[in-house]
Amino acid sequence: MIEAVMLWNEPNNKSHWDPALDPDWSRYAAMTKLAARAVRAVNPKLPCVLGGISPIDPEFIRNMAQRGVLDEVQQLAVHGFPLDWNLWSIHAWPDKLAEIQALTDKPVIVSEVGVSSFGAEEVQSWGLERTAQLLLGRAPRIHWYSLYDLPREWEATTRHKEAEGSSYYRHFHMGLLREDGTPKLALEKFARHTPQLGLCQWFHFEDPRLDDAVEWMQRLGVRYLRTGLSWADSFRPNAMEWFDRQMYALREFEITLTFCFTPQHLGLAPHHSSAPRDPALYADFCARMVERYAPASAIAGAAADEAFA
């Protein structure tokens, strides 16, 4: 079941939204408002979430409020990785969350929080337990990032590998499971906090881990999942067949579904973090995905389930 859709991912992070092409986020604001309206036209009851922010920046939220974006969404979201990338202590989590909650009466979810095992699995295990202590009960959804380590032969979704040094390689050690599928120390700690603690797991196009991931999430008692469908991937051959397979496999979970990544041929620049030349095309993609996977009609949803089976 799709319980919410998120409009982009980390729009205030240069790896996901190019500030050179949209320095004041006016293009992102216009695109998000169009997308939220398009989703609402298809399913008025489906909540839209502002793209989860990283870093946690109150000024970005004020910018979105001034541009009318907060009037169009029903939830906000934050991401935090204080033991790996952020310049603040893990103990500051309640205060960082409260900074954003103070700016809105809308729910604020934690759509990505994690700790890598880059230095030591013991650090990740401790970080998971401390994160749960600090955040559970303070936000309606908390999604741990992630179930799997990123395979070494893949690339992290960033355009700044050369500039990031060791920070780049931490992307490959965020999972509760190693690349070969074996458990890390933190896995047992995570299972103690489900279903209150959810997961964020991105699936690559035709990801071979999908079925195993479902089995692991069932075993761990996961109920809440954040994942995504890539606008860029939608132009690949057999894209809809893959999207159908992914969403059918994940149908038993309560999903926050993220729509992001600009197709190269539709951006102001030819990369995934570019603002699109025509924001209405992104809004159309969001509407089509909601119509397919989260229709307002329960009858249509049941028919879709049957078709995907």
What is the predicted pLDDT for the residue at 300?
A: 43
CA-based nearest residue to 170, from 193, 145, 194:
145
Which tens digits make up the pLDDT trace of 195-204? 999 999 999 9
SS3 track for 118-144: CCCHHHHHHHHHHHHHHHECCECCEEE
Six-digit token string for 33: 């408002």
What is the predicted pLDDT for the residue at 155?
A: 63
What is the predicted pLDDT for the residue at 168?
A: 75
DSSP type of residue 178: -
Give every CB contact of residue 134 below 8 A, 6+ residues apart in sequence.
Answer: 90, 91, 93, 94
Which tens digits make up the pLDDT trace of 201-239? 999 999 999 999 999 999 999 999 999 999 999 999 999
261: left (phi over 0), alpha (psi -120 to 50) or beta: left
Q: Chain-wide mean pLDDT for the chain?
A: 93
Domains and CATH numbers, the chain: 2-308 (3.20.20)
Q: What's the CA gap between 215 and 10, in Å, rounded?
A: 29
What is the predicted pLDDT for the residue at 171?
A: 76
pTM score? 0.93
Which tens digits make up the pLDDT trace of 68-121? 999 999 999 999 999 999 999 999 999 999 999 999 999 999 999 999 999 999
Q: What's the CA gap between 187 and 124, in Å, rounded?
A: 10
pLDDT above 70 (res 7): yes
Six-digit token string for 139: 């936000």
User: Sheet of 2-9: strands edge to edge?
Assistant: 48-52, 2-9, 254-260, 224-230, 197-200, 142-145, 108-113, 76-80
Q: What's the CA gap between 235 and 124, in Å, rounded?
A: 37
Which tens digits make up the pLDDT trace of 157-192? 654 555 556 677 787 899 999 999 999 999 999 999
Q: What's the CA gap between 147 and 183, in Å, rounded?
A: 10
pLDDT band at 154 (very low <50, low <70, confident <90, very high): low
pLDDT band at 302 (very low <50, low <70, confident <90, very high): very low
Residue 188: count other Cβ atoms within 10 Å of its Cβ.
Answer: 13
Cβ-in-10-Å burial (0-12, 13-18, 19+) of 124 comes to buried
What is the predicted pLDDT for the residue at 158?
A: 59
Which tens digits make up the pLDDT trace of 14-56? 999 999 999 999 999 999 999 999 999 999 999 999 999 999 9
What is the predicted pLDDT for the residue at 122?
A: 98
Phi, psi of 83 (to 5 degrees): -90, -5
Which residue has 């103690």 as its token pair?
192
Average of pLDDT values for 297-305? 48
